[in-house]
Amino acid sequence: MQGNAIAFLALLGWLPFVIYLFSRYPAQRALIVGVLGAWLFLPLSSMKIPVVPAYDKMAAAFYGVLAATAIYDMGRLQAFSFSWIDVPMIIWCICPFFSSMTNDLGPYDGFVMMLGQIVTWGLPYLIGRIYLNSLSGMRQLAVGFFVGGLLYILPCLYEIRLFTSLHARVYGFAPVENFLISIRYGGYRPSVFLSHGLAVGVWMMSATLMGITLWRAKILKKIWNIPIAPLAVILLVTFILVKSTGAYFLLALALIILFVGKWLRTAFLMWVIVAGICLYLNLGVTGGFPREPIVSYLYQNFSPERIQSLDFRFVNEEILSAKAREKILFGWGGFGRNRVYDESGKDISVTDSLWIIVFGVNGAVGLASVFGSLLLPVVSFCTKFPARLWSNPRVAPAAALAVSVVMYSLDCVLNAMVNPTFALVCGGLAGLVVAPQRESH
């Protein structure tokens, strides 16, 4: 295990800490504190355990929630029943087994990879499904996101001011080994206790979106006896200082979606973005993406340095997609078999986005199921809760969370920052959609 004794004790102690939270506080609050606290503050280390997936920050949180459920609230788990909306997540969780079997990697390898998928994606989804499947649950989760963002203000400012990794100072190693990739616009882009500055950007984007929603919808007046308005503004300023250009765009787009939903009473823009994501994935899988005319147009209208980087990404996605189409259904499985190598065996491919990684490793079945797991709950939510209801204080937090999932899905088209908290949101939205009608309004 990488890291110092503090990292070891933090990971080892989080599971019993989560059980303690459930013994002391209401289940939804205990869940949100246990999961978001682990994601934001535990080290990026893992303990290797035979057969089962590595014990890392998210495993500590979700194993703790399962143990607490078994001790204090087993009836909740027993009452759970699968629904049509869970099908994409089920397929996504079992897909690694078939990817391994179709590549002659053996059932043991497939079983281990499937367990890893379940811990990273399936458990967050399931826990959201059984605990956060109501408007009140979505409200508490939105507040949790906002508070999590507030708690990241000082760590972000610390790293920005001192050009240093807080993770290295606390846990003994830096999550981002190449210091230069943390330098943006002449300053330092913080990573805090997440894997990359881009992950911090998406997190702070979501937290800021929740803060603005809670403030403008008058859902909360104070947090820690401080008026919410200045807190939301300070969080927004910190988000800007994080220096994540893509996240700036995502927040602006998310606010436009909510603005259009509130004032024009339509989710049309949300539908357009979801359709755009699906179209892009389809073109990427089939090899029909028109790279050359798009890049040519961008070169004429934007900074050549930025477009060169984007073109490099597109070129790599083209060669990786061509390799993936050789095993189009279930992909190449693990061990780097999805990557492209030259005659000497040197890896000549770069995987920047989640979609191309999933397509190469788990094929079209995996790609459709992972984005279906993210987008089907959102689409279903927009159907059950039309945009005319989004300004309702009871519905507004769930609507903002749904929009944040779409923004995360859009980010997954460009980056590969796996964030289990969004699977938790999707589980809550899915549970809300299939809940009895009395839970809807």
- State the Cα–Cα distance between residues 249 and 407, nearest whole angstrom: 9
| DSSP state string for 72-117 | H-HHHHHT----GGGHHHHHHHHHHHHHHHTTT--HHHHHHHHHHH
pLDDT tens digit string along 116-145?
999 999 999 999 999 999 999 999 999 999
Q: Could you tell me the pLDDT band of residue 440, with boundaries at 50, 70 and 90?
A: very low
What's the rounded mean pLDDT across residues 259-267?
Answer: 93
What local confidence, expressed as pLDDT, does residue 437 receive? 54
What local confidence, expressed as pLDDT, does residue 177 receive? 64
- State the Cα–Cα distance between residues 139 and 142, nearest whole angstrom: 5
- Hey, how many other C-beta atoms are within 10 angstroms of the C-beta on 352? 17
What local confidence, expressed as pLDDT, does residue 185 receive? 66
Task: For residue 138, give the nearest of 390, 418, 412 by alpha carbon.
Answer: 390
Q: Could you tell me the pLDDT band of residue 441, with boundaries at 50, 70 and 90?
A: very low
The residue ranking higher by pLDDT, 431 or 108, is 431
What local confidence, expressed as pLDDT, does residue 49 receive? 80
* Domain assignment present for 9: yes
- Record the pTM: 0.94
Q: With left for phi above 0 and alpha for psi between -120 and 50, is residue 11 left, alpha or beta?
A: alpha
* Domain assignment present for 242: no
pLDDT tens digit string along 44-100?
998 888 777 889 999 999 999 999 999 999 988 888 999 999 999 999 999 999 999
* Domain assignment present for 15: yes
* Domain assignment present for 40: yes
Q: Which of 166-180, 243-257, 266-280 has the lowest mean pLDDT?
A: 166-180
Q: Could you tell me the pLDDT band of residue 180, with boundaries at 50, 70 and 90?
A: low
pLDDT tens digit string along 336-356?
899 998 888 888 888 889 999
pLDDT over threshold 50, residue 419: yes
- State the Cα–Cα distance between residues 203 and 238, nearest whole angstrom: 12
pLDDT over threshold 90, residue 146: yes
- Percent helix / strand / coil, the chain, rounded to 5: 70, 5, 25
* Domain assignment present for 275: no
pLDDT over threshold 70, residue 115: yes
* Domain assignment present for 114: no
Domain that holds residue 9: 1-79
pLDDT over threshold 60, residue 433: yes
**Furthest-apart CA pair in the chain: how many Å?**
64
How many distinct helices (H) and strands (E) make up the chain?
Answer: 19, 4
Mean pLDDT of the chain: 92
What local confidence, expressed as pLDDT, does residue 182 receive? 64
- Hey, how many other C-beta atoms are within 10 angstroms of the C-beta on 293? 8
* Domain assignment present for 332: no
pLDDT tens digit string along 368-399?
999 999 999 999 999 999 999 999 999 999 99
Number of domains in the chain: 1
* Domain assignment present for 190: no
What local confidence, expressed as pLDDT, does residue 139 receive? 97
What local confidence, expressed as pLDDT, does residue 178 receive? 60
